Structure 1
Amino acid sequence: MSITREVGASYHPEKGVTFTVWAPEAEKVEVLLSKPEKKTITLQREAFGYWTGLAEDAKPGAKYKYKLNDDKERPDPASQFQPDDVHEASEVVDHTSFSWTDENWQAPPLEQLIIYELHVGTFSEEGTFEGVINKLPELKDLGITAIELMPIAQFPGSRNWGYDGVYPFAAQSTYGGPEGLKKLVDACHAQGISVVLDVVYNHFGPEGNYLNDFGPYFTEQYNTPWGAALNFDQAHSDHVRNFFFQNALMWLRDYHIDALRLDAVHAIYDMGAKHFLQELQEQVIQLTEQTGKPYLLIAESDQSDIRLLNSPDKGGYGLDAQWFDDYHHAIHTLITGEQEGYYEDFGKPAHLKKALEQTFVYNGLYSEHRKKTVGTDATANPAQQFVVCSQNHDQVGNRMLGDRLTQLVSFDMLKVVAGLVILSPYVPMLFMGEEYGEENPFLYFISHSDKDLVKAVQKGRREEFKAFTWQGEVPDPQSEDTFNKSKLQHSYTQNEKQNQLREFYKALIQLRKTHPALAKPSKEKMVVQLDEENLVLHLVHTGNDEPLYCLFNISNKPQTFKSDALEGQQDWEVILDSDDAKWAGNGGSGKTSVRSTETITLPASTMLLLGRTT
């Protein structure tokens, strides 16, 4: 393994605060303590350009900056708290005093996760970690087993998706800071809910990004959509890698986070002998050996590359899972008819069948959108290695008007889509509010203080949508109104139809958790048939002795058929009918069972679940 060294301000009750910063080109580095009293500590240079020093009388809450070469005063790159935004002093944090109550917590295995992605600022009325805590009973009631927090690393201002973070070790101050995050994680574990944290190791935001003043954190060798790439393989890269390894270990160890979602790993450029992601997984495995707690690393990638998941002895990086966009795109294009931008590669019914049976649709095929051959064959990779959804922050928020499926398809189709995701063999993920058909959009928002940067972002958003024919004006990302429009209404308690949709989601999630055929969903123990002309999907989880037969009419017309999948079987009982009145349907067929020789009629945009009669 490469160099591992603690960075930042580390508090030890018995000896004070140790400050460590990497600044290989500096001639002099000092700590300027400004609270509780002003004091200057000159750091000592050590090997590889690390500077360190001890402040015996410093305590948690002390504020400080680093002074470089008697000139620039900067916050700590590894600051764990920025109480006064990104340009001001860092604050020392105490990780020894929090009263955790989760000593008996055991995270559920990957295949048992029902993930709920949320944005802290818009999920609750308060827009804080405390606001999320207040909603946890509702998520537990829904059946959620893991929440996934969009990035909470300190960003400029109070409104941001989180991908403009510039202090990856610091929990956002306006959300509740380090103490608030620990309380949230502890409360989640008390409710039986895992916590996945979205972390960004491929770029930094522009405002408040002072890393270049400390050292060669970036390289011009590669370009990313956000500018120069982080330096993971050039000169001095060992110490950049260490910075992010320490970050990941901090979240897992000090905040009891259960899993990290690694943003856009295709923009992590590393041509070295051992890829950053492989070594990150090795560091996490080492932490598991120390703590006895299992941790997960889940990648986001648009490359359809099983190298992320395969073990090192197969030339892979050994990550636990990855987001799987093909399934989303296959569903979305079929139910909306949209085929612009990156959707042009999808839209055929066969894509949905292939996504279920073989996972990657583009598994070595030519992509018209990308103008190149894309992907690898993931057929042999187990289903639990892939996270699927019908909506997420990208697929909703990167639409010009942030419109959810609620605005794009019928209420009946929302239920069909829920079934396609929750009853797939893959790990299902919901996007906050989808379970009741939230009608507010999820828009892109920022609160930068640099006027030129604001103009650049506004222009960039307009440019981004040129490949689409969406009508209307691009909402101003800097406007507070844009942010407020994105807040969830949690209106299902006053809206009967929304509550019925939520109850439908609850029933599907309960089925996912309890039906024997879904105990360990598998592509191998599954039969998929698709009538491509009439858009009727037959998905049978064969399991062991109790199969689950899922019928989906993805068309907007009633469909009548006999199923080959029913032949040779005994009669089937109706487990769930999405057209039932209790799910705000049209009454359903009223049948409690279906004979194996019977012709079945599915109303438009409905699903029917059948189980073996005993």
Structure 2
Amino acid sequence: MRATEGHWWVADRVAKPGQRYGFEIFDGKEWSKTLPDPRSTAQPDGVHGLSEVTDPAFPWTSDLWTGRTLAGQVIYELHVGTFTPAGTFEGVIGKLDYLRDLGVTAIELMPVQPFGGERNWGYDGVEWHAVHQGYGGPEGLKKLVDAAHNAGLGVILDVVYNHFGPDGNYNGMFGPYTVGGNTGWGELVNISGPDSDEVRAYILDAVRLWLAEFRIDGLRLDAVHSLDDRGAYSLLEQMQVVADDVATRTSVPRYLIAESDLNDPRLITGTDGGGYGLAGQWVDDIHHALHTLVSGEKHAYYEDYGSLGALAKTLREGYFFTGTWSSYRGRTHGRALDTTAIPAHRLVTYTTTHDQSGNRARGDRPSMTLTPAQQVLKAAVIYASPFTPMLFMGEEFGAQTPFAFFCSHTDDTLNQLTSEGRKREFARSGWDHDEVPDPADPATFEASRLDWDFSAEQEEIHAAYRELLRLRRDLGLARPDLSKLIVETGSEDEKWLAMGHEDVILVANLSDQPVTAPYGGELIWSFTQPSVELDRTALGPWEFALLRR
């Protein structure tokens, strides 16, 4: 290869689809081993093997797909490796009809970029333009997107641009992709320092790849608060420009959803209002407020929640912290969003996620400790709200399998350090480290696979989820104006919640004691048998009623 301007090295050899290749780097003293391409689009032999040249062409059969915006979506988050017995994209295809029948409109895939070994959550990805071969590689992902679109379902892809995984990350040998510092998962990615233009291009080209070549409908951007983004022109804005350009060129909507811990309205505020213009963001505050009320847990980051007032505030305002004090953080946090200007669908809400289940000592799901009534109650609050709802795989039938953290790094030392780090983290949160399963043990992964053989109780929960999602659609509960949402509560002794509109309202008992709420009407649906009158509703422990007023 020969050196050119801009610190690039160029070869005359023309690569052809199917060819394997790699690079060797001379540091002035010796040559490196053969390394994969940082811009590899396929790694058939894993993150340490040769890269493969792929053909971007694909025989698409879903050209009639016109796409969907985020508004009105019901998202289903899944991990490809544990969602089905096959653990592949092909296995997901076999469940598309099930998901559509459930009421889902889009699937969200946890990250599928290559990682060390065969088992991983996906947040340890290293080649950001490629697809894990064990799931089916790039062609397998395109087949899934094509099948989903033919089934009327959108596809969202979770992508990680705040750090590189520790196993197979050779990018630092090719250029200044990182700049030291630490996000807690790895070194900071260089998006603001010297030579960061090319690192940004590396990320933005990946965004275009997924949205254009793979026809992905939306991207979920992992932990954007950990991006070292200090430029006048935010990387998030640049991503949105790419998404808008692909949407214009294809006439199919493309959207970006951020995960952020900042409670910063700029993420979902339009560029004309000084924001980044993203379509949506995950909102943990609503989850935390609901989870603490129903489960009673108050440890770690849950310590600020647990009151009925906290839940009511999050339902009215989206955020709990709006420039207010956080005892967990030891400082004020967040900023209020304008509920009259930002439509409610831009906030993505849930009863659990891969994080909220998997980042527990045992990886236990809420469905493993809550009663069916409590599970369906939580779902009713989320689905009767105007926000964009998201399910985490298995919650719709009360899955009794855990979703623990697992990995299979090719370096035994990395596996040991990962296990020790998880135990230290959970010990700080008050959990017994002996409960933490070994992430590298294949049994931890196998135990996290969904069991699709439903019990009678699980069938009942599944039917309730289907009905709630049907009613959400048929009653038009996804109404955009959050400022017009009715949210009323009882006292902290009588924990009833009323949420809804002039015509339809949800009345719920968020306690283990009977309550009477001063809202009544015609009962549309309930999981149990509450006593409903014209002006009041008597609710037993954890009961709710969806009423027509």
- TM category (shorter chain) comes to over 0.9
Aligned to 1:611: 548
Bigger shift: residues 63-72 or 599-608 = 63-72
Give the secondary structure class of the aligned counterpart of 1:229. Answer: coil
1:538 aligns with 2:498: yes
Q: In the alignment, what sits opposite 1:575?
A: 524
Write the deviation string for residues 248-275 of structure 1: whole angstroms up to 9, x where unpaired.
Answer: 1001111110000000000101111211
Q: Hey, what does 1:322 align to over in structure 2? A: 281
1:596 to 2:545 alignment: no
Counterpart AA for 1:481 = A
Which position in structure 2 is the counterpart of 1:197? 157
The structure having more radius of gyration, on CA atoms, is 1
Q: Do structure 1's residue 240 and structure 2's residue 177 form an aligned pair?
A: no
Please report how far the alpha carbon of residue 108 of structure 1 lies from its aligned counterpart in structure 2 after TM superposition.
2.2
Between stretches 498-507 and 275-284, larger displacement belongs to 275-284
- AA aligned to 1:333 is T
By how many angstroms is 1:106 displaced?
Answer: 1.8
Aligned to 2:168, what secondary structure does the other structure show?
coil
Structure-2 separation of matches of 1:365 and 1:353: 16
Give the C-alpha shift of residue 67 in structure 1: 2.2
What is the rounded CA distance, in whole Å, between the counterparts of 1:390 and 1:47 in structure 2? 52
1:400 to 361, 367, 381: 361
Alignment partner of 2:95 out of 110, 127, 135? 135
- Cα distance between partner residues in 2 of 1:391 and 1:241: 32
Aligned-residue RMSD, C-alpha: 1.5
Report how far residue 496 of structure 1 moved.
Answer: 1.7
Q: Read off the aligned partner of 1:75 and give its amino acid letter.
A: P
- Where do 1:488-507 residues align within 5 Å? 488-492=450-454, 495-507=455-467
The correspondence of residues 104-119 of structure 1 with structure 2, limited to 5 A, is 104-119=64-79
SS state at 1:111 partner = coil
Of 541, 550, 559, 2:506 maps to 550
Does the C-alpha gap of structure 1 residues 54 and 132 become closer, same or farther in structure 2, counting only changes over 3 Å? farther
Instruction: Give the number of equivalent residue pairs.
Output: 541
CA contact (8 A) 1:416 1:605 kept: yes
- 1:372-521 to structure 2, matched below 5 A, reads 372-380=331-339, 381-471=342-432, 472-492=434-454, 495-516=455-476, 518-521=477-480
Secondary structure in structure 2 of the residue aligned to 1:551: strand
Partners of 1:519 and 1:208 in 2: how far apart?
A: 44
Distance (Å, rounded) in 2 between the aligned partners of 1:596 and 1:573 = 7
**Any unmatched runs of 5+ in structure 2?**
none
Matched position secondary structure for 2:483: coil
TM-score (ref. length: structure 2):
0.96
Q: Is the 8 A contact 2:68 2:253 kept in 1?
A: no
Q: Check whether the contact 1:357–1:523 (CA below 8 A) recurs between aligned residues.
A: yes
Distance in 2 of aligned mates of 1:524 and 1:81: 47
Aligned residue for 2:128, secondary structure, equals strand
Give the match's secondary structure for 1:202.
Answer: coil
| Paired AA for residue 21 in structure 2 | Y
Alignment of 1:306-345 (within 5 A): 306-345=265-304
Q: Is the 8 A contact 1:415 1:606 kept in 2?
A: no
In percent, how many aligned pairs have the same letter?
43
Listed as ranges, the matches of 1:180-259 within 5 Å are 180-220=140-180, 222-259=181-218
Contact 1:340 1:467 in 2 (8 A): no
Q: What do residues 188-224 of structure 1 show as CA deviations (whole Å, max 9, x unaligned)?
A: 111111000000000000110001100011113x432
The alpha-carbon deviation at position 286 of structure 1 amounts to 1.9
Q: Aligned with 1:67: secondary structure? A: coil
The 2-side partners of 1:431 and 1:362 are apart by: 25
* TM superposition shift of 1:526: 1.6
* Aligned counterpart, 1:528: 487
Q: Secondary structure at the match of 1:219?
A: coil
| 3-state SS, counterpart of residue 169 of structure 1 | coil
Residues 71 and 345 in structure 2, CA contact (< 8 A), matched pair in contact too: yes
Shift of 1:528: 0.8
Structure 1 CA distance for aligned equivalents of residues 479 and 17 of structure 2: 46
Aligned to 1:39: none
User: Is the Cα–Cα contact under 8 Å of residues 61 and 92 in structure 1 kept in the other structure?
Assistant: yes
Deviation at 1:66, TM superposition (A): 1.4
Deviations for 1:363-395, whole angstroms, at most 9, x for unmatched residues?
A: 001111111110010142221111001110000
Q: Which amino acid aligns with 2:408?
A: S
Structure 2 CA distance for aligned equivalents of residues 521 and 501 of structure 1: 28
Partner of 1:8: none
| Distance (whole Å) between structure 2 residues aligned to residue 185 and residue 102 of structure 1 | 9
- Aligned in 2, Cα 1:292/1:488: closer, same or farther, shift over 3 Å? same
| Alpha-carbon distance in 2 for matches of 1:179, 1:164 | 21
Matches within 5 A, 1:2-41: none
The answer to whether structure 1 residue 264 and structure 2 residue 201 are counterparts is no
2:7 paired with 1:49:
yes
* Structure 2 counterpart of 1:162, from 122, 127, 130: 122
Mapped partners of 1:371, 1:165: distance in 2: 33
| Cα separation, 1, equivalents of 2:538 and 2:383 | 23
Q: Is the 8 A contact 1:578 1:607 kept in 2?
A: yes
Cα separation, 1, equivalents of 2:251 and 2:461 = 40
Structure 2: which amino acid aligns with 1:385?
R
Offset, 1:54: 5.0
Q: How much does 1:573 deviate?
A: 2.1
**Greater RCO between the two (CA within 8 Å, min separation 6)?**
2
TM-score using structure 1 length: 0.86
Could you list the runs of 5+ residues in structure 1 that have no partner in the other structure?
A: 1-41, 567-571, 580-587
Q: Which amino acid aligns with 2:545?
A: L
Distance 1:464 1:481 in 2: 21
Contact persistence 1:60–1:93 (CA under 8 A)? yes
Deviation at residue 595 of structure 1 after TM alignment: 4.5
Q: What is the alpha-carbon distance in structure 1 between the residues aligned to residue 210 and residue 156 of structure 2?
A: 10
